[in-house]
Amino acid sequence: MSTPGFPEAFSLKGEVAVVTGGGTGIGLAIARAMHGAGARVVLVGRRESELAAAAGALGAGSSYIVHDVTQLDAAPALVERVAADVGPVTCLVNNAGIHLKKPAVDTTPAEMESVLRTHVLGAHALTSAAARGMIERKAGSILFTASMASLFGIPLLIAYTAAKSAYAGMVKAYATEFSPHGVRVNAVAPGWIETEMSRKALAGDPARRDRILTRTPMGRLGVPSDIGWAAVYLSSPAARFVTGVILPVDGGISVGF
């Protein structure tokens, strides 16, 4: 096996990357970084206006498809449409998700089911659909956006924690099953990242922001591109011997005390 040199080792030229939840936030940051690394990027989400604006900003080599990941039976059709319009999916980023902040005792079974359907069942449906072709071609990369909730307990987030913790196990199980066929499976676990969602969460609560920064050894929040470039690395030839990994990109918060 030949060893790629720099910068080819980090290039995604020739790849077709599907990013769910790709119209905003961390999903868009991942799409932007992958596009910058040479991939043809397909943004997937429910809100066409956001997807159209994001794809327009990225420019040539990007497109979008309106799709709801909770429509589980539609996953194979999405993969087939990408193949017809752009090319076979070679990189899948399972990023779509919903958030629920609520005491555990007040979280209803229906609310729990909704969060798990989006994160876990939706990701599995797309992974199963995309992995078939990857396994046939003996190449591919599947990436999950995990969370600090995959690594330690966070109060008031029982449904979200259950979903993101499931990702930790799914990544390992998929990796052991798919990697013998040349398909790598990994995850990025973002820490506190400066996004519109985090700004809203911390607005008017300076004490909470201070606690976060105090627990973060690097003493600052990350920016979305920190996650984007980590995703590029895990999907690139530079990581061709990396599979089953959950990579924290968190300024050290998961190891700080």
pLDDT tens digits, 153-189:
888 999 999 999 999 999 999 999 999 999 999 999 9
In whole angstroms, how large is the CA radius of gyration of the chain?
18
Residue 7 CA to residue 151 CA, distance in Å, equals 32
Please provide the average confidence, as pLDDT, over all residues in the chain. 95
**Phi and psi angles of residue 128, each rounded to the nearest 5 degrees, phi first:** -60, -45
Residue 194 CA to residue 123 CA, distance in Å, equals 25
pLDDT at res. 17: 98
Provide the domain limits for residue 82. Answer: 8-193+223-248
Residue 105 CA to residue 70 CA, distance in Å, equals 25
Measured at the alpha carbon of residue 119, what is the angle toward residues 155 and 96, in degrees to the nearest 5? 105
Q: Which two tokens stand for residue 145?
A: 């956006």
Instruction: Give 119 or 197, the one with higher predicted confidence.
Output: 119
At position 217, the amino acid (one-letter code) is P
Residue 198 CA to residue 148 CA, distance in Å, equals 14
At position 222, the amino acid (one-letter code) is G
Q: Which CATH number does the domain housing residue 84 bear?
A: 3.40.50.720
Residue 177 CA to residue 180 CA, distance in Å, equals 7
Write down the pTM of the prediction.
Answer: 0.95
pLDDT, tens digit, for every residue of 9-28?
999 999 999 999 999 999 99
62-84 mean pLDDT:
98
pLDDT, tens digit, for every residue of 195-236?
877 777 777 788 888 888 998 999 999 999 999 999 999 999
pLDDT at res. 103: 96
In a domain, 55, yes or no: yes
Instruction: Give 186 or 150, the one with higher predicted confidence.
Output: 186
Residue 117 DSSP one-character state: I
In a domain, 117, yes or no: yes
Active-site residue set: 160
Number of structural domains (the chain) is 1
In a domain, 81, yes or no: yes
In a domain, 132, yes or no: yes
In a domain, 74, yes or no: yes
In a domain, 209, yes or no: no
In a domain, 50, yes or no: yes
